[in-house]
Amino acid sequence: MRKSAGVSRIPIRLGRSQYGEDVGFDLAADAAHIAMQGKTRSGKSQATYNVLAQAAANAAVRVVGSDPTHVLLEPFKHRGVSEPYVVSGLNAQATVDMLGWVKRESDRRIDQMWPLRTDKFSEFGASFPLILVVLEEFPGILEGAADEDAALGRKPAERLAPRISAYVRQIAAQSAKAGIRLLLLSQRAEASIIGGNARSNFGVKMTLRVDEPESVRMLHPSASPEDCALVETFKPGTCLFEKPGEGRQIMRCDFVGEYGRYARAIESSDLRFLATLQQDQAQREFFAEEFGVVDPS
């Protein structure tokens, strides 16, 4: 039988537990959206650089998203693979266009589920990638869009802020089975940015230092007052971490280094090259299986 070129595991390493064990999650197998919160200087950027550098180096992952800070996703605009759906800088219309494309792609994939007699997509490759939708400083994206709606006096039906919220809600609720993952970043999780229903679709949760117990409980509803007090004392890079099927734990995120290092890693991750290697490997495996003479390695 012919093997597929896809992968069903996309492990992302985050750091170490307090017992020295590796901690991370699997973008493919955990099938969960990711929420990360942390106040300024809590180590949010370091943790995000780490996740995105690993995602960028995997030909089975397509990174899209919106980044009002102009920093986090900027390197994705400068690499060999042209990606129209990376919005670097505050741009409400481009964010709506990006999310609209994600939603259409999600619908297209979901329409394919019945013909393929499957209830979810769990294998990804260069020709059918997992799509990671990064929303950096999500409250800032919404605020920027709302300011623009007000400044231009847009009528309710034309407003962009509610459309961004609606797309994110819909994608959170429906798109994990279509191989789409949200990575939503904020200084603190607030009910006004992700409502209760949508929030329950975020299975991978990272809380770096935050000062309000409500923010801790927003992402980790069963956190005790002691947990919340502990989070307020976290050093940069220390994180309360939760993923599907595992309890809460405290971990240390890996330290990636300065921004330039991250930027160069993204800029130089050549997805076409990686995809070709992956295709070549799949072909070798196919020939080796069919003809039994070719060394697949």
Ligand X SMILES: Nc1ncnc2c1ncn2[C@@H]1O[C@H](COP(=O)(O)OP(=O)(O)OP(=O)(O)O)[C@@H](O)[C@H]1O
Tokens at 289, concatenated: 């299986």
- Cβ at position 25, least distance to ligand X in Å: 17
State in angstroms the smallest separation of the CB of 210 from Mg ion.
14
Binding mask 38-57 for Mg ion (x = CB under 5 A): -------x------------
- Measured CA to CA, the distance from residue 25 to residue 114 in angstroms comes to 29
Chosen from ligand X, Mg ion, none, partner binding at 36 (C-beta under 5 to 8 Å by type): none
Q: Would you list which residues are annotated within the binding site?
A: 38-45
CA distances from 81 to 77, 126, 152, 228 (A): 9, 12, 35, 42
Counting beta carbons within 10 angstroms of the beta carbon of residue 35, is it exposed (0 to 12), middle (13 to 18) or buried (19 or more)? buried
24 is a site residue for ligand X (CB under 6 A): no
Length of the chain: 297
* CB distance 182 to 199 below 8 Å: no
Of 255 and 273, the one with the shorter C-beta distance to ligand X is 255
Q: How many residues bind Mg ion (CB under 5 A)?
A: 1
- The two tokens of residue 93 are 């219309």
Distance CA 240, CA 36 (A): 10
CB contact at 8 A, 133 and 180? yes
User: Coil, strand, or helix at residue 19?
Assistant: coil
253: contact with ligand X by CB under 6 A? yes
- Considering only residues 231 through 250, tell me which ones interact with ligand X, judged by CB under 6 A: 236-237
The least CB distance from residue 56 to Mg ion, in Å, is 18
User: Which span (18-26, 37-45, 163-171, 288-296) binds ligand X, by CB under 6 A?
Assistant: 37-45
Q: Is 110 helix (H, G, I), strand (E, B) or coil?
A: helix
Closest CA to 135 of 75, 88, 188, 185: 185
Task: Give me the 44-63 binding string for ligand X, x by CB under 6 A, dash otherwise.
Answer: xxx-----------------
Structure token digits, residue 118: 């499957």
Count, residues near ligand X per rule CB under 6 A: 12
CB of 213 to ligand X, least distance (A): 19
Query: According to the binding rule CB under 6 A, does residue 38 interact with ligand X?
Result: yes
What's the min distance (Å) between Cβ of 141 and ligand X? 16
222 lines the binding site for ligand X (CB under 6 A): no
Question: Which is nearer to ligand X, 33 or 252 (by Cβ)?
Answer: 252
- If one asks whether residue 41 binds ligand X (CB under 6 A), the answer comes out as yes
Q: Residues 37, 42, 54, 66: which binds ligand X (CB under 6 A)?
A: 42
Radius of gyration of the chain (CA): 20
State how far the Cα of 204 lies from the Cα of 248, in Å rounded to an integer: 10
Q: Which residues bind ligand X (CB under 6 A)?
A: 38, 40-46, 236-237, 253, 255
Q: Which residues bind Mg ion (CB under 5 A)?
A: 45
